[in-house]
Structure 1
Amino acid sequence: MMQQMIQTAVRLVYPPRCLGCGDLVESDFGLCATCWRDTPFIGGTTCAACGIPLQGPDDGHRIECDDCIATPRPWRDGRAALMYRDRARRIVLGLKHGDRADLVQSAADWMARAGADILQPGCLLAPVPLHWLRLARRRYNQSALLAQAMARRTGLMACPDLLQRIRRTPSQDGLTASQRAENLTGAIRVHPRRAEMARGASVVLVDDVMTSGATLSACTDACLAAGANRVDVLVLARVGKDD
């Protein structure tokens, strides 16, 4: 009874607001009808490797996009919750650069639903790492926040520092896929103190955005080199060719 009274008082002082536009909504961590309509959730037939939407019905067989067929991914399966455009882009940028920790819970819920088939019992959630200098400037790793929130939601284990970015790399913005891959050569490894956790594990890499997949490929290679049994990827948003 007392807890309900406290929750009621908190709602009176801090009524729930839309994560997208700030308008009043009925429940915490929600989107209003307009923002929900403008947020491009991914559904239907998708590439099994990178999560991008594909045309045509899902016939139950593994389908991959042209890019993933031409350049096979080092990981097994990939899923994404949103396309990186419109309201979703603003949500990602708010989480990444705007100190919008209030977005983490909903984003993790969307990701957990999108990746339900790869979030199997016993798998290990591992965020894409930031170099310590960038982490010091930003004060948080948004991918680690997402991994930890998904761990709480699913009961799976998250290891925020399974991977280390041991070399500072320039921004990937504006680089081609091959330049992105070259930029990350030798930049990521499994943390020496976490090597036993990686060995034989089924790792699910967690990130906010997948563009070319170069960073996730470098993380996958590091996990496999450390003896991981399988690696999948799960991201909040996927960049399309036209985005």
Structure 2
Amino acid sequence: MRAAFPGALPALRAVLREALGLVYPPNCAGCGGATADPGALCPACWSALRLIEAPLCPRYGTPFALDLGIGPLLSPRAIAEPPVFARARAVALYDGAARSLVHRLKYEDRLDLAPAMARMMLASGRELIAQAECVVPVPLHRWRLWRLWRRRFNQAALLGRPIAKAAALPFRPGALARVRATRSQVGLSRAARATNLQGAFRVPPAARASLQGQRVLLVDDVTTTGATANAAARALLRGGAASVDLLTFALVAQEAL
């Protein structure tokens, strides 16, 4: 049954949102303090974000300390250890406010933070998104999803879905599977991380047709050494993807140059 007044329902929703805001005032996504808009950052947390801006390495997305003014330059690491993925971008360095946001999303079940983080990723990754043909989140192994109380959801998928929706791109969480349960990457060296992830990802046979020749935007929450992204990108390329770019919310500070 249609409403007698077409504009009544949107107006009612607006009133309900306003009433809810009076009972539960919007708070900062970073520190929990009061803010004007839900999911926004307060001025203190926003200023505490170490946003990644040019000049940066076009492959790893790591920022340079100085702008030499001579065009795009590869970082020494990109020359010595070219990544499997084509390009990587991130919103901020992984410390302070950025670390707080990631930890609250991942370990405190603050799923409401994902849309705000995704909006920032849309801005930082606009160049990659403009050339992408589909969005694929880095998957978790089903053992982690079902058995670990801290991982009842996949944070990469929570970030990737709104990015795909805003960019009008297909969202394909089933295009990549984590087929081997790996040990935690925390505390492992770069070489150990790479070894730990060997053979961990695979493109399921049912997903291969939709992946053929596609420019994939791979989404995750944090880039540490790039080992996870390399392993995932390698599997996607073997599964038929034409190229893989990486977009994350944060990049560990030690990756800055």
Q: Distance in 1 between matches of 2:199 and 2:228?
A: 11
Mark the structure with the bigger radius of gyration. 2
Structure 2: runs of 5+ lacking an equivalent: 1-10
Instruction: Say whether the 8 Å CA contact 1:44–1:58 is kept in structure 2.
Output: no
Q: Distance in 2 between matches of 1:150 and 1:93?
A: 20
Post-superposition Cα deviations, 1:132-153, rounded to whole Å, max 9, x if no partner, equal 0001132100001100011122
The amino acid across from 2:44 in the alignment is T
Partner of 1:217: 230
One of 203, 210, 219 as aligned partner of 1:206: 219
Please report the TM-score for the alignment, with normalisation by the length of structure 1.
Answer: 0.95
2:132–2:216 CA contact under 8 A, matched in 1: no
Counterpart of 1:228 in 2: which secondary structure? coil
Alpha-carbon distance, 1:4 to partner: 2.3
Q: What is the CA–CA distance in structure 1 between the aligned matches of 2:70 and 2:213, rounded to whole Å?
A: 29
Indicate the residue corresponding to 1:112 in structure 2: 122
Are the counterparts in 1 of residues 136 and 175 from structure 2 also a CA contact under 8 Å?
yes
The 2-side partners of 1:181 and 1:242 are apart by 16
* Structure 1 outlier segments of 4+, above 6 Å: none
* Aligned position for 1:85: 95
RMSD, matched Cα: 1.6
* Partner Cα separation in structure 2 for residue 35 and residue 227 of structure 1: 41
The answer as to 2:197 corresponding to 1:184 is yes
Per-residue deviation at 1:238?
0.3
Map 1:1-243 to 2 at 5 A. Answer: 1-57=11-67, 59=69, 61-120=71-130, 123-136=133-146, 137=148, 138-241=151-254
Q: CA deviation at 1:76?
A: 1.0
Moved more, 146-155 or 231-240: 146-155
Give the Cα–Cα distance (whole angstroms) in 2 for the partners of residues 74 and 190 of structure 1.
Answer: 16
What secondary structure is seen at the aligned counterpart in 1 of 2:103?
A: helix
Is this contact kept in 1: 2:190–2:225, CA < 8 A? yes
Give the fraction of aligned pairs with identical amino acids, expressed as a percent.
37
- State the TM-score, normalizing by the size of structure 2: 0.90
